[in-house]
Chain A
Amino acid sequence: MKSLNTLAGAMLASTLFAGSALAQTELTMWYHGAGSESEMALVNAMLDEFNASQSDWKVVITTFPQIAYNDSVVAAALAGTLPDIIDIDGPILPNWAWAGYIQPLAIDETLIANYLPGPKGVWDDKLYGIGMWDAAVSLVTRQSYLDELGLRTPTLDEPWTGEEFQAALDAAKNSGKFEYALDLGMAWNGEWFPYAFSPFLQSFGGDMIDRSTYLTAEGVLNGEAGIAFGNWWQSLFTGGYAQATQDPADRDSGFANGKYAFSWNGNWAALGALAAFDDVVFLPAPDFGNGPTIGAASWQLSISSTSQHPEGANAFINFALNPDNLARFSKGLGLIPATAEAAALTENYQPGGPLEVFYELSNRQGLLRPVTPGYPVMAKVFEKALADIANGANVEETLDAAVDEIDADIEANGGYGFK
């Protein structure tokens, strides 16, 4: 009798449990991390926890290789087959919001009250995307190099001026100790160029577009400041400070092998640098006269405009933003947690941690790339222009041509809503 009762109880429990599972409405999610085992392990763990934490929603993920991701999303948007939740690279967000691919989020404001500015994906005064982390670049070097070369150690409050930076490059070059003074990461292409190098242009006083109107690049990309930046950029290569073409192996290990005195690299590579030397320092971007800046914004979560279950998608995003999740991704991937509370939960970014400086770099020097639907085109134009200048093209002519191309795209798209 007892065993019969046990069996009946087990059947009842399993029926109830199955009923609960069946009641969950499926939410589809696309993510760019296919092929990145460590990243997907973190994402899947978070999904499992969300799915088990409540009985209303079940998120089912499809992953894409990052290189193919944006094209897949755009094709799906055209075909009307977007999932409920999509992740999106920050600078692309205005384009997808403008194109109607995504809808504004409805998330708990208190969760993002103390957020870093970069991970907030705002377009047209509405929050369309929110990131769980930010990324930041710094000038990586060794304290011993600075001491040997007789250089002041710059700080966030007192970064190097453009002249000091140039003097540092000269000192490194003239020391004869390094093959090149500066590793800019020219082995990388694509978004690395506007992300990593447009802050130099902005510090010179130029920009990829006139942010007061977002209707033209005339006078800002090819103005006096833009040309000064272009000339400086070209001098890095003609002067023998950096390589215009770089072997990927040198990008990976050149600094650790002592080939470069300085490396312009992101927080994701910082742990590797720390493992190579015990006196690594992460210096802030130099100030070329208009303030030191670095790129901000990384991947963010958003909801497609065709989602039939935005309340479920918002519930998942709210879940994803809790400090434990932010810390989880930071610990697993070395990313900068989006809040100080989450940073305090990590070994690297907590106060006194080896990467703490990156949180402050992101907070104080981070500048969003132009917040306009025209960004994807101007990013490609900017990349090509910088690569051409690095390889010896005439600076003024190249920047003029880039401006023409950017302006033509804006015109062809009716001003992207800014007219």
Chain B
Amino acid sequence: MAAISADNHGLRLWTRYAVLVLIAIIFVFPLVFMVMSSLKPDQQLLSDTASLRAFLPVGDISFHNYTAAFERAPVGLFVMNSVIVTGITVLFSLLICSAAAFAFVFLNWKGRDLVLTLILATLIVPFETYAIPLLLIASKLPWIGFDGLTWGWLNSYRVQIIPFIADGLTIFLFVQYFKDLPGELIEAARVEGASWYQVYAKIVMPLAGPVLATAAILKFLVMYNQYLWPLMVVQEEGYRPVMVGLQYFFQLNVAWGEVMAYLSLITLPVLAFYLYLQKAFIASIASTGVKG
């Protein structure tokens, strides 16, 4: 009886791993295809798509597409711009949105539910519907910098960052997570004389690791993949992000090998960021059921 049970257990384990490996392959293969294709000349790349050779480093393999990609476009500049814009936006977003969610969950103030409802309602408004009004506003806003007072935010990092710091989804994630925190903790801290700022900084945020990771990853992906907005507000090459840079490779005859090399390069920061936060992200999904 015990032997049968052990066999069943082994079989279940094998089946489970087989399914997991299959799923992993499905998700990993596009990345493998991208990297392998980036090492092949265009003709071979296209002809290999008809077989499993597309996923293998076979044939005429070299790093030529990578050097060609750097010659065609300032890849490093685009990656740096995207990392700057994305990094700053993520940092400020976590700070502002968590503070906003804290106010919605723990503070009592008039109109709180109505304001939260309005913020959540913005989730169903597509960006494209207000992109032009936002452009008109951004083109006329004042700014005080090293040059003194200037008007218009176009061609800058700030125009790519500030409009996206606060958003309904990130606030919603924090609100949901904060609601599940034990109320006794907050009450105890308040009874002990902690200010609301101390409660936020010393008690709530140290417990918010998983939701911070989730919000950071989701925000990172949104910001790193920005295309329409930078296309509208950034004309100078010096501020262009990676997704606009991708268009450099789509000439009449597309250099697919270079496209794949470029995509491989710009995927690296995303993978690194995800791997860094992966444990907390999975913990967050497990605890909140929220997934990207």
Show the binding face of A for B, using Cβ within 8 Å. 30, 34-37, 62-68, 71-72, 75-76, 78-81, 188, 247-249, 252-253, 268
Contacts and interface: CB of A to CB of B under 8 A. Distances in A.
A249 B231 contact: no
A63 B247 contact: no
Contacts of B47: 249
Contact of A75 (B71, B233, B251, B253): B233
A81 B154 contact: yes
Contacts of A71: 231-232
Given A34-B237, A62-B235, A62-B236, A75 B252 contact: no
Given A72-B235, A75-B232, A81-B152, A65 B46 contact: no
Interface in B109-164: 132, 135-136, 138-139, 152, 154
Contacts of B236: 62
Given A37-B71, A63-B237, A249-B43, A68 B139 contact: no
Contacts of A68: 231, 244, 247
Given A78-B136, A80-B139, A248-B254, A35 B235 contact: no
Nearest to B228: A71
A195 to B, nearest CB: 12
B14 interface: no
B251 A66 contact: yes
Given A81-B139, A249-B46, A252-B253, A35 B237 contact: no
A249 B42 CA distance: 8
A62 B251 contact: no
Contact of A79 (B154, B247, B251, B253): B154
B154 to A, nearest CB: 6
7 contacts: A34-B248, A37-B72, A62-B237, A68-B247, A75-B231, A253-B43, A268-B252
A188 B248 CA distance: 17
A65 B244 contact: yes
B194 interface: no
Nearest to B155: A81
B162 to A, nearest CB: 16
A75 B152 CA distance: 14
A79 B72 contact: no
B77 interface: no
Contacts of B245: 65
A65 B72 contact: no
A67 B228 CA distance: 12
Nearest to A63: B237
B197 interface: no
A80 B248 CA distance: 25
A37 B249 CA distance: 11
Interface string B223-260: 00000000111011100000011011111111010000
B33 to A, nearest CB: 16
B237 A75 contact: no
Contacts of B247: 34-35, 65-68
A76 to B, nearest CB: 6
B248 A247 contact: no
Interface string B72-92: 110000000000000000000
Q: Is the interface of B mostly helix, strand, loop or mixed?
A: helix
Contact of B73 (A35, A62, A81): A35
Contacts of A248: 46, 253-254, 256
Given A66-B251, A79-B138, A248-B253, 16 more contacts: A34-B73, A34-B237, A35-B73, A37-B71, A65-B245, A65-B250, A66-B247, A66-B250, A67-B250, A68-B231, A75-B135, A79-B135, A79-B139, A79-B154, A252-B42, A268-B252
Best-surrounded residue of B154, B235, B236 (most CB of chain A within 10 A): B235
Interface residues of B, number: 31
Contacts of A79: 135-136, 138-139, 152, 154, 233
Contacts of B249: 35
Contact of B235 (A67, A76, A188): A76
B60 to A, nearest CB: 15
B46 A247 contact: yes
A199 B248 CA distance: 30
Interface string B245-284: 1011111111010000000000000000000000000000
Contacts of A34: 73, 237, 247-248
B232 A72 contact: yes
A196 to B, nearest CB: 12
Nearest to A76: B235
B257 to A, nearest CB: 12
A81 B244 CA distance: 19
A253 B235 CA distance: 35
A316 B237 CA distance: 23
A76 B42 CA distance: 36
B195 to A, nearest CB: 44
A35 B78 CA distance: 13
B232 to A, nearest CB: 4
A273 to B, nearest CB: 14
B111 to A, nearest CB: 35
Contacts of B256: 248
B248 A65 contact: yes
A412 to B, nearest CB: 17
Contacts of B42: 249, 252
Contacts of A78: 132, 135-136, 139
Contacts of B233: 75, 79
A240 to B, nearest CB: 21
Q: Which 7 A-B pairs have the closest CB atoms?
A: A35-B248, A65-B247, A79-B139, A249-B46, A75-B232, A67-B247, A68-B247
Contacts of A188: 252
Max chain B C-beta neighbours (<10 A), residue from A62, A63, A65, A78: A65
Nearest to A247: B46
Contacts of A67: 247, 250
Interface string B150-194: 001010000000000000000000000000000000000000000
A36 to B, nearest CB: 6
A243 to B, nearest CB: 15
